[in-house]
């Protein structure tokens, strides 16, 4: 399914535009954007609210179609993936981190992490071992049986990061991962992600409005009014 | 395993919260299932009780008035004078006249109706299938009552009962003689003639055949020989009576059971739909994280199954005490439930759950993974 010859472009967008129709008027959220991310880099996309950052991420992950242009994911046009295959791709090869964590309130920490391993059809024992390793690494092992409503914001985001990493996902997509955290907690999370990029050759694409974290990024883009520029 | 993350666990995780609603849902499902179980057991009890007199009569052939097919809801009057003709037919071992009279009696709790059955107390043929208290009718001044009738009107063996101008002593109580809407009571043939006022007419003859005699041959002979009668073999007559009983009571039970099923489907559908809407963000997250196509619908179905199973188990626990209680309050309502009934209703409830999953599964389609990025 995954083309291993496209290491240089794990994800690529070519002349992507997204136009939202509102009351008969078209508003361009993204305008002729081209972008490529390679294995082992952390790409940061900065921009103010409403600049199209989230639209960029959701198109990249195939959650919505662009009005024009092409998206390539793991070397294949995203439109060529059958929906089931795309779901498997998200579960097995992509990890998602959200601003509001989106943990399952009824599941404890370990169960939240194990949920995506089930979606990825991972072997239970192997997945459990990897989850334990990550829980330990991110220093949340003592919280494995805790429920999300008992965790601090920083702890929740670390659980979300572990959830994104547990399937050894090659591509991590992070939507404002520091948005609900203090500056210190935010730095810790991004530092964790940077470590994953450097040591494990994962690719992280992160959107944020927090310019403080740009020193972690290998490349930083700025998105404004639907246009993107490298800074 | 604590870290086990299965569909079932996720399902349980979401459906039991909030607990109060979960409990109320289980109670609702249990009540619907109880209703279905109760109706089923009533049907079973009535269908068995109504025809057990015929089933256990020991008769090989039944002779009734022409066009009469049963003794439950069909009048039959035939002359007693044909008895010698019947007795002379080769292959007939015994001929027992029986008379049925719907009669009112005065009890301590007020007037009541009973299905008076006059039979030959010397042979005992046509009498009560089984005695559960006291004795059989020994003379013309005694009566045997159905035990549920006796319980309802608080009558015991040894008590007296006034029928018309006669006072009859309750000799015993019988079982298998409850027809739900009315109960059998047994008196001597002679007393029945006195009460009816026509000593030359009976309702039917119960015939017993000599060993090796083929009933069909005797039926043909009798219908050729005697005008104005119908003759049925035991199985046909039993089937006729069963059919008569079912055609009278089943449509009503089916309708009530159908209403119960619709209420159950609506209740489950509503609860599950509400649950999907309340947890729409979690469903959207699961879609975003790559949940396979059938995972979320399966989750809904399993939630429905868990609810129905919990409801059914609750109903199964309460059905037997409920039947006992109902029989105490209203003895003639004698239900008979069994493990098979529970399995049947469980299967029915499971099917209803599947049907009720359709609407909430439809709601899943309108939950988009894109929502979690907003």
CB spacing of B289 vs A90 below 8 angstroms:
yes
Q: What is the share, in percent, of chain B residues with pLDDT greater than 70?
A: 96
- Nearest C-alpha of chain A: how many angstroms from B4? 7
CB spacing of A128 vs B10 below 8 angstroms:
no
Confidence of residue B145 (pLDDT cuts 50, 70, 90): very high
Question: Which residues in chain A are closer than 8 Å to B282, comparing Cβ atoms?
Answer: 104-105
pLDDT in tens, A123-173: 888 899 999 999 998 889 999 999 999 999 889 988 999 999 999 999 999
According to the per-residue pLDDT averaged within each range, which of A161-175, A184-198, B296-310 is highest? A161-175
Give the one of A90, A106, A114 whose C-beta lies nearest to B3's C-beta.
Answer: A114
Average pLDDT across chain B, whole number: 88
Interface of B with A in 16-55 (CB under 8 A): 17
Average pLDDT over residues B48-71: 90
Q: What is the share, in percent, of chain A residues with pLDDT greater than 70?
A: 96
Confidence of residue A90 (pLDDT cuts 50, 70, 90): very high
- Angle, CA B325 vertex, CA B320 and CA B330 arms, to 5°: 125
Our measurement of the distance from residue B356's CA atom to the centroid of its chain's CA atoms, rounded to an integer in Å, reads 28
Q: Which domain holds residue A202?
A: 38-65+77-230
Q: Identify the weakest region by mean pLDDT among A202-211, B249-258, B305-314.
A: B249-258
What pLDDT does B11 receive? 55
Question: Which residues in chain B are closer than 8 Å to A145, comparing Cβ atoms?
Answer: 2
Asked whether residue A205 is domain-assigned, the answer is yes
What pLDDT does A194 receive? 93
Question: Which residues in chain B are closer than 8 Å to A120, comparing Cβ atoms?
Answer: 290
Question: Which residues in chain B are closer than 8 Å to A83, comparing Cβ atoms?
Answer: 293
Q: Is residue B286 less than 8 Å (CB to CB) from chain A? A: yes
- Nearest C-alpha of chain B: how many angstroms from A46? 16
Structure tokens at B126: 């046509």
Q: Look at residue B262 and tell me whether its pLDDT is greater than 80.
A: yes
Give the one of B13, B291, B373 whose C-beta lies nearest to A87's C-beta.
Answer: B291
Q: Look at residue B35 and tell me whether its pLDDT is greater than 50.
A: yes
What pLDDT does B8 receive? 52
Q: Note the maximum CA span of chain B.
A: 97
Q: Which one-letter DSSP state was computed for residue A141?
A: G
Q: Name the residue of chain B whose CA is nearest to A98's CA.
A: B373
Q: Is residue B122 less than 8 Å (CB to CB) from chain A? A: no
CA B16 to CA B172: how far, in whole Å? Answer: 54
CA B319 to CA B327: how far, in whole Å? Answer: 12
What pLDDT does B9 receive? 64
Question: Which residues in chain B are closer than 8 Å to A90, comparing Cβ atoms?
Answer: 288-290
CB spacing of A119 vs B290 below 8 angstroms:
yes
Q: Identify the weakest region by mean pLDDT among A21-35, A75-89, A204-218, B130-144.
A: A21-35
Confidence of residue B63 (pLDDT cuts 50, 70, 90): very high
Structure tokens at B219: 């039926």
What pLDDT does B4 receive? 46
Asked whether residue A20 is domain-assigned, the answer is no
Total structural domains in chain A? 1
Q: Identify the weakest region by mean pLDDT among A66-75, A210-219, B16-25, B96-105.
A: B16-25
Question: Which residues in chain A are closer than 8 Å to B369, comparing Cβ atoms?
Answer: 63
CB spacing of A54 vs B292 below 8 angstroms:
no
Average pLDDT over residues B246-253: 78
Q: Look at residue B342 and tell me whether its pLDDT is greater than 80.
A: yes
Q: How many other C-beta atoms are found inside a 10 Å radius of the C-beta of residue B73?
A: 13
> What CATH number has the domain bearing residue A153?
3.40.50.300
Q: Look at residue B76 and tell me whether its pLDDT is greater than 50.
A: yes
Average pLDDT over residues B97-109: 90
Q: Look at residue B45 and tell me whether its pLDDT is greater than 70.
A: yes
Q: Look at residue B288 and tell me whether its pLDDT is greater than 60.
A: yes
Q: How many other C-beta atoms are found inside a 10 Å radius of the C-beta of residue B273?
A: 18
Q: Look at residue A109 and tell me whether its pLDDT is greater than 50.
A: yes
Q: Look at residue A3 and tell me whether its pLDDT is greater than 50.
A: no
Of A185 and A193, more confident: A193
Average pLDDT over residues A73-91: 92
What pLDDT does B91 receive? 93
Listed residue (B178, B180, B349, B146) closest to B263, CA to CA = B349
CB spacing of B373 vs A63 below 8 angstroms:
yes
What pLDDT does B360 receive? 93
Q: Identify the weakest region by mean pLDDT among A12-16, A197-201, B3-7, B252-256.
A: B3-7
Average pLDDT over residues B264-288: 90
Confidence of residue B345 (pLDDT cuts 50, 70, 90): confident
- Nearest C-alpha of chain A: how many angstroms from B370? 6
Of A185 and B2, more confident: A185
- Helices B295-329 and B7-15 pack at an angle, to 10 degrees, of 60
Query: How many contacts (CB atoms, under 8 Å) link A and B?
Result: 85
What pLDDT does B339 receive? 83
Asked whether residue A184 is domain-assigned, the answer is yes
Q: Is residue B370 less than 8 Å (CB to CB) from chain A? A: yes
CB spacing of A120 vs B3 below 8 angstroms:
no
CB spacing of A115 vs B5 below 8 angstroms:
yes
Asked if the peptide bond before residue B286 counts as cis, ω within 30 degrees of 0, the response is: no
What pLDDT does A14 receive? 93
Sheet strands side by side (includes A42-46): A94-97, A171-175, A203-208, A42-46, A219-224, A227-230
Q: Is residue A20 less than 8 Å (CB to CB) from chain B? A: no
Q: Name the residue of chain B whose CA is nearest to A99's CA.
A: B373
What pLDDT does B275 receive? 86
Identify the residue whose tokens are 């390793």: A133
- Nearest C-alpha of chain A: how many angstroms from B267? 24
What pLDDT does B10 receive? 64
Cα dihedral A148, A150, A154, A159 in deg (nearest 10) = -30
What pLDDT does B13 receive? 61
- Nearest C-alpha of chain B: how many angstroms from A147? 11
Asked whether residue A225 is domain-assigned, the answer is yes
What pLDDT does B138 receive? 94
CB spacing of B17 vs A106 below 8 angstroms:
yes
Interface of A with B in 78-107 (CB under 8 A): 83-84, 87-92, 94, 96, 98, 102, 104-107
What pLDDT does B168 receive? 93
Q: Name the residue of chain B whose CA is nearest to A107's CA.
A: B13
Give the one of B6, B295, B370 whose C-beta lies nearest to A63's C-beta.
Answer: B370
Average pLDDT over residues B159-184: 89
What pLDDT does B146 receive? 94
DSSP helix/strand/coil, B122: coil
Of B110 and A166, more confident: A166
Q: Identify from A87, A97, A167, A206 which residue to disrupt to test chain B contact, counting B C-beta atoms within 10 A and taking the largest count.
A: A87
Q: Look at residue B3 and tell me whether its pLDDT is greater than 50.
A: no
What pLDDT does B255 receive? 86
Q: Which one-letter DSSP state was computed for residue A105?
A: T
Q: Look at residue B2 and tell me whether its pLDDT is greater than 70.
A: no
Cα dihedral B218, B224, B226, B227 in deg (nearest 10) = 140
Of B15 and A107, more confident: A107
Question: Which residues in chain A are closer than 8 Å to B285, comparing Cβ atoms?
Answer: 98, 102, 104
Average pLDDT across chain A, whole number: 89
Q: Is residue A1 less than 8 Å (CB to CB) from chain B? A: no
CB spacing of B292 vs A175 below 8 angstroms:
no
In this prediction the ipTM stands at 0.90
Q: Is residue B289 less than 8 Å (CB to CB) from chain A? A: yes
Confidence of residue B242 (pLDDT cuts 50, 70, 90): confident
Average pLDDT over residues B25-54: 86
Average pLDDT over residues B22-39: 88
């Amino acid at each position: 399914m995954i083309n291993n010859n496209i290491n240089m472009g794990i994800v690529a967008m070519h002349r992507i535009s997204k136009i939202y129709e509102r009351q008969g008027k078209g508003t361009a959220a993204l305008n002729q954007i081209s972008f490529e991310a390679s294995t082992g880099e952390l790409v940061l996309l900065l921009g103010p609210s409403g600049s199209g950052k989230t639209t960029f991420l959701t198109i990249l992950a195939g959650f919505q179609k662009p009005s024009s242009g092409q998206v390539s994911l793991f070397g294949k046009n995203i439109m060529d993936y059958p929906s089931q295959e795309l779901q498997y791709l998200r579960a097995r090869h992509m990890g998602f981190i959200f601003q509001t964590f989106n943990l399952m309130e009824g599941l404890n920490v370990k169960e939240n992490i194990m949920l995506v391993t089930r979606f990825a059809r991972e072997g239970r024992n192997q997945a459990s071992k990897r989850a334990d390793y990550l829980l330990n690494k991110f220093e949340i092992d003592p919280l494995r049986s805790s429920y999300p409503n008992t965790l601090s914001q920083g702890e929740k985001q670390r659980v979300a990061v572990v959830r994104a990493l547990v399937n050894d996902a090659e591509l991590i997509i992070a939507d404002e991962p520091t948005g609900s955290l203090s500056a210190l907690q935010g730095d810790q999370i991004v530092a964790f992600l940077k470590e994953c990029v450097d040591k494990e050759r994962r690719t992280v694409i992160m959107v944020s409005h927090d310019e403080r974290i740009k020193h972690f990024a290998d490349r930083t883009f700025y998105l404004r009014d639907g246009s993107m520029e490298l800074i | 395993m604590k870290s086990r993350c299965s569909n079932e666990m996720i399902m349980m995780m979401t459906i039991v919260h909030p607990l109060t609603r979960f409990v109320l849902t289980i109670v609702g499902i249990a009540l619907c299932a109880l209703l279905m179980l109760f109706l089923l057991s009533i049907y079973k009890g009535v269908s068995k009780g109504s025809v057990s007199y015929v089933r256990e009569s020991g008769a090989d052939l039944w002779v009734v008035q022409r066009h009469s097919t049963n003794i439950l809801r069909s009048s039959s009057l035939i002359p007693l004078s044909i008895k010698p003709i019947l007795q002379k037919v080769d292959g007939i071992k015994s001929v027992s006249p029986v008379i049925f009279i719907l009669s009112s009696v005065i009890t301590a709790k007020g007037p009541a109706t009973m299905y008076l059955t006059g039979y030959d107390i010397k042979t005992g043929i046509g009498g009560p299938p089984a005695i559960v208290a006291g004795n059989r009718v020994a003379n013309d001044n005694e009566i045997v009552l159905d035990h549920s009738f006796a319980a309802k009107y608080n009558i015991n063996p040894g008590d007296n009962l006034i029928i018309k101008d006669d006072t009859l002593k309750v000799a015993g109580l019988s079982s298998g003689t409850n027809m739900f809407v009315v109960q059998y009571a047994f008196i001597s043939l002679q007393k029945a003639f006195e009460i009816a006022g026509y000593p030359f007419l009976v309702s039917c003859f119960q015939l017993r055949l000599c060993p090796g005699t083929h009933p069909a041959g005797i039926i043909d002979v009798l219908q050729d020989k005697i005008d104005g009668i119908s003759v049925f073999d035991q199985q046909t007559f039993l089937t006729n009576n069963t059919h008569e009983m079912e055609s009278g009571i089943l449509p009503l039970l089916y309708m009530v059971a159908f209403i119960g099923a619709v209420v159950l489907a609506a209740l489950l559908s509503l609860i599950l739909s509400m649950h999907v809407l309340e947890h729409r963000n979690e469903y959207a997250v699961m879609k975003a994280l790559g949940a396979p196509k059938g995972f979320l619908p399966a989750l809904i179905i399993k939630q429905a199954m868990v609810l129905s199973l919990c409801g059914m188990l609750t109903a199964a626990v309460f059905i037997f005490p409920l039947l006992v209680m109902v029989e105490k309050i209203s003895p003639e309502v004698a239900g008979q439930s069994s493990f098979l009934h529970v399995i049947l209703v469980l299967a029915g409830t499971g099917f209803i759950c599947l049907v009720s999953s359709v609407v909430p599964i439809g709601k899943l389609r309108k939950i988009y993974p894109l929502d979690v990025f907003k």
